[in-house]
Amino acid sequence: MLLLFVGCVVLFAVKLILDWRRKRLKNYPPGPRGLPLIGNLLQVSRLIRETRFHWGVWRELAARYGPVVQVRLGLANPLLIVSGRDAVLDFLGRRDFDARPDTFEIRHRSFGKKRGIVLNDGPDWTEQKRFLLKVLKDFGFGKQSMEDLVLEDASMLCNILMDKMLDTTIDVHDFSEVTAIAVISSLWNLIAGRRCDPTEKESEMVEILRILKESFRNGSATGSLWQHIPFLRFIMPKYSGFADQQQRVSAMSNYFLDEVARHKQNKKQGESNDLIDKYLDEIASRNNNESSFDELQLVVLLKDLFSAGIETTSNTIGFAISYLAKYPDTQTKIQDELDHIIGSIGVPKLVYKNSLPHLNATIAEVLRLANVAPTTIAHRAVVDCSLLGYDVEKNWSVIGNLRSVHMDPDHWVDSEAFRPERFIDTRGKYVEDPWLMPFGSGRRKCIGENLARISLFLFLASLLQKFRFGLAPGETAPCLLGVNGFTVSPPHINIVITSRCHDKK
């Protein structure tokens, strides 16, 4: 035992000496000095407590050290935080940073190896992504039929509000959870061949949505405590969060494994009605051990689509409702547009999009201010390289601070204020701003961007056509920063929903 202890001390001392020598020879990015073993974990934890958000940590560090900051979180490789539009675009546009970190946490959620498309890289990722996009396109993803599916979901959500929530006070945070099952319904129809209807028995789906929400609330782009200090999952699994995460991963895996099993059991020869059917056909056609197509890969792919298809869209809708309740004049402008262009009984469609500048501008401003995804998912350097003149070693992790771009006061006049008109020109037309990049940039840009934009427009147009959203009594000046997590979720503020049909009589 003594010999083992001495050996560990010697190895640790050697590591410190080698790290020190490397720092003298290399031009590494600046960052806060950390402690042995835990690195900057204590400093990051303190800044999270002070600022209440992970993005607050990156803002403080960027202000102190510049556009590229190095932090060490436990025993993992250094993490770089890249801030500012030029630096973020440079980083996201480089193939040097196209990979994903290879960590136990990532492998743990995908049955022991890197799978899927969100947290994967290399030839398998390319093959899976190409297959996914082709199949979804064949089933109508991004086409007219997709618009029709989303409109059905928006109508379903409006009916739920009319039946259950009208003239009652509701927490916006809870409202976004109500929208989640409506948001995923159209995508789930392409994936599994059936729609989700919260008015029917969808207890399993509702439970998975709850678990997914917990995962996002308890996570961050930089990883978990047990990832930074791996031995914690063995000696204190509950305190480190590993036990809870293990339960969530198991529950989601079992749900999608059962879905795949149902498809295998019910699938008829020669019929392929959805993504799962097509994938099972692909597995059968390959029939070799070298293929990247197998049932575990399919389950992780379903997890990726399910997670990416819900969180940002439902949260953004919740934030939009929050801002419009707080700023009723903007809500009135949008509803006047809707009344004029579509009317009270017309169906909102994408063909009207260019005729609704205030709705488009409000969506853009909410995406800018809410920053539901304040950073990119972590990337990994695939080679030794440089970034803004600093040396970066292979396998270091890098995240892009998207919020720093969206809140840059040098570009956005009065950047902290809610001003949708910044996206409307002197002719009253909506204009896009290249500084707005809520879905990232480069080759790892969110593949669901088109569906997310369609959903945001059609859901909000449908909701605002039929309902008025106002602050509940007592909510005079609510804070709209939201709730911290891997993504930022809508704030806990109370609103009242009323039908607009009374206004038009």
Q: What is the pLDDT of residue 357?
A: 98
Radius of gyration, CA atoms only, the chain: 24
Neighbours of 291 (CB within 10 A): 14
Q: Please give the structure tokens belonging to residue 63.
A: 């202000």
Q: Which residues of the chain have pLDDT under 50?
A: 4-5, 8, 20, 505
Residue 203 located in a structural domain: yes
Distance CA 24, CA 83 (A): 25
Sorted by sequence, the CB contacts under 8 Å of residue 2 that are 6+ apart come out as: none
Summarize pLDDT for 40-52 with one digit per residue, the tens: 999 999 999 999 9
- Residue 415's CATH number: 1.10.630.10
**φ, ψ at 457 (rounded to 5°):** -65, -50
Strand segments, DSSP code E, in 148-293 are 169-171
Q: What is the pLDDT of residue 17?
A: 53
Binding residues for heme: 446
- Residues linked to residue 380 through DSSP beta bridges, in sequence order: 99, 397
Query: Which residue in 42, 405, 54 sits closest to 222, CA to CA?
Result: 54
Q: How many CA atoms lie within 13 A of 83 on its CB side?
A: 23
Residue 60 located in a structural domain: yes
Residue 490 located in a structural domain: yes
**Number of independent structural domains in the chain:** 1
Residue 14 located in a structural domain: no
Residue 184 located in a structural domain: yes
Tell me the residue range of the domain where 40 lies. Answer: 23-499
Q: What is the pLDDT of residue 146?
A: 84
Summarize pLDDT for 91-146 with one digit per residue, the tens: 999 999 999 999 988 999 999 999 999 999 999 999 999 999 899 888 776 556 78
Dihedral-angle region of residue 245 (phi above 0 means left; psi in -120 to 50 means alpha; beta otherwise): alpha
Distance CA 256, CA 328 (A): 42
Q: What is the pLDDT of residue 169?
A: 84
Residue 335 located in a structural domain: yes
Q: What is the pLDDT of residue 46?
A: 94
Residue 414 located in a structural domain: yes
Binding residues: 446
Strand segments, DSSP code E, in 360-454 are 379-380, 385-387, 390-392, 397-401
pTM attached to this predicted model = 0.91
Distance CA 441, CA 438 (A): 9
Residue 97 located in a structural domain: yes
Instruction: Kindly list the strands in the beta sheet with 494-499, ordered across the sheet, starting from the edge strand earlier in the chain.
Output: 169-171, 494-499, 467-471
Q: How far is CA 17 from the centre of its chain?
A: 39
